[in-house]
Amino acid sequence: MLGIVDRYILREVTKVFLAIVVVLLLIVASLMFLRTLEEVNVGGLGVDVVFYFLRLQLVRDTSSLLPPAFFLAMLVTLSRLSRDSELIAMNACGIGPPRIYRTLILLAIPVALITGWFALVLQPRAAAGIQEVRLQQKGQAAQVAGLQAGRFYVEEQGDVVVYIREIDRSKSLGDVFVLDRRGGKRRLVVSKGGQHQVEEATGDHLVTLSNGHRFDGTPGSGAYLIGDFQEYQIRIPGSGPTKQAYTKRSTTPTLDLLKSSAIGDRVELEHRIASPLAIFTLAIMAIPLVDISPRQRTSGRIFLALLAYFSFFNLQRLAESWLEAGDTPPWLGSLWYQLAILMLVYLVVLPESFWIKRLRHRLIPARAAVAEEGV
């Protein structure tokens, strides 16, 4: 059963945690939105997929935002309780660090489950969606490669000449002029619009025109044909089949990573597991980084907290790269950095820890009694 103090601590940490998560998501979403608009501006991304692409990016990165947000929420809440002397009052009532540890671990369990759901399930799906959007946009960009608005496209030693006055963001063609002199015949095609695509199997360019006019024959001769059409297609030989897309490990489902024995798949799997595991590690790390008494200087603890925070996430990248490169043995894995940072923090704050202070208080009366007996 949770007591009043436990519910109070849970409520305060939860409020701060939700506020930090909302702020971080707004900041990340703003930065991603600006980068997405830049891609739209240069033609690398379509306007119709902007918000869908932004949502996929947020889902992909949420699992990496929750651990630092939870760590900051615990530090901010415990620092506020210390500043208002509430931690001293709790300690005087018999509610010390062990009780706070238990309370924060209870809160860390649902947060870790949510983080694990994002990291193990939603993140690979979002990464696969992002790759699919990238491939689609890349394919559309490749479809108009060489066909630039206001310029002539010449192929097959001048036998095929294509001019396009306008290419909009949806890759549609406007005011198209085509001169085809292949096979000894002269064909002139004029159209108000059309589409252009590339066949993956052959790499050929297919220009499909709509609502235009066709003129067949040699000017000045009697054998001349003039006609209208609703759809007209011209095939321009390409450079060969297009290359298939490379599938990234970040898009691989977690169950497939569990079945794989490749070292790269193991690194990706441990990278996903690291996020929910970091929730518990950071919860245990945050408590000794806050002084109970507001009279004690907190600059050293704040510096240690910042150092531990940046070391934690930077060492994660190093551990994963070392494992993938073979610098660390496979049995060690890449999650050892969490235990290393946790032990380092506890060694630094050990002289001022709750248990050391309690041991000192017990030893002082014993030493005084021994001294009195000696006198």
Please report the pLDDT score of residue 137 as a whole number.
64
pLDDT band at residue 43 using 50, 70 and 90 as cut-offs: low
pLDDT in tens, 106-133: 999 999 999 999 999 999 999 888 888 8
Residue of higher predicted confidence among 341 and 155 = 341
The answer to whether residues 54 and 25 touch, using CB atoms and an 8 Å cutoff, is no
17 and 60 in a common domain? yes
The yes-or-no verdict on residue 187 having pLDDT over 70 is yes
Please report the pLDDT score of residue 324 as a whole number.
87
- 120 φ, ψ (degrees, to nearest 5): -90, -25
Mean pLDDT is lowest, of 24-28, 76-80, 117-121, 163-167, for 163-167
74 and 213 in a common domain? no
Which residues does 62 contact at the CB level (< 8 Å), separation at least 6? 25, 118, 122
Residue recorded with tokens 């297009």: 242
Query: What percentage of the chain has pLDDT greater than the value 90?
Result: 18
Rounded to two decimals, the pTM is 0.67
| Residue 243 in domain | no
The yes-or-no verdict on residue 95 having pLDDT over 60 is yes
| Residue 258 in domain | no
Q: In whole angstroms, what is the distance from residue 362 CA to residue 360 CA?
A: 5
Q: Which residues pair with 174 in a beta bridge?
A: 166, 193
Amino acid at 235: R
pLDDT in tens, 16-39: 999 999 999 999 999 999 888 887
Structure tokens at 178: 């085509």
β-bridge pairing 187-198 and 224-236: unpaired
pLDDT band at residue 233 using 50, 70 and 90 as cut-offs: confident
Measuring CA to CA, how many Å separate 227 from each of 123, 177, 305, 347, 348? 55, 15, 78, 88, 87
Measuring CA to CA, how many Å separate 264 from each of 71, 97, 252, 269, 324? 29, 40, 11, 9, 6
| Residue 51 in domain | yes
Please report the pLDDT score of residue 42 as a whole number.
64
Please report the pLDDT score of residue 277 as a whole number.
93
The answer to whether residues 308 and 290 touch, using CB atoms and an 8 Å cutoff, is no
The yes-or-no verdict on residue 367 having pLDDT over 60 is no
| Residue 145 in domain | no
Please report the pLDDT score of residue 261 as a whole number.
85
The parent domain of residue 168 ranges over 157-236
282 and 357 in a common domain? yes
Please report the pLDDT score of residue 116 as a whole number.
93
122 and 11 in a common domain? yes
pLDDT band at residue 143 using 50, 70 and 90 as cut-offs: very low
11 and 112 in a common domain? yes
| Residue 254 in domain | no
Q: How many domains does the chain have?
A: 2
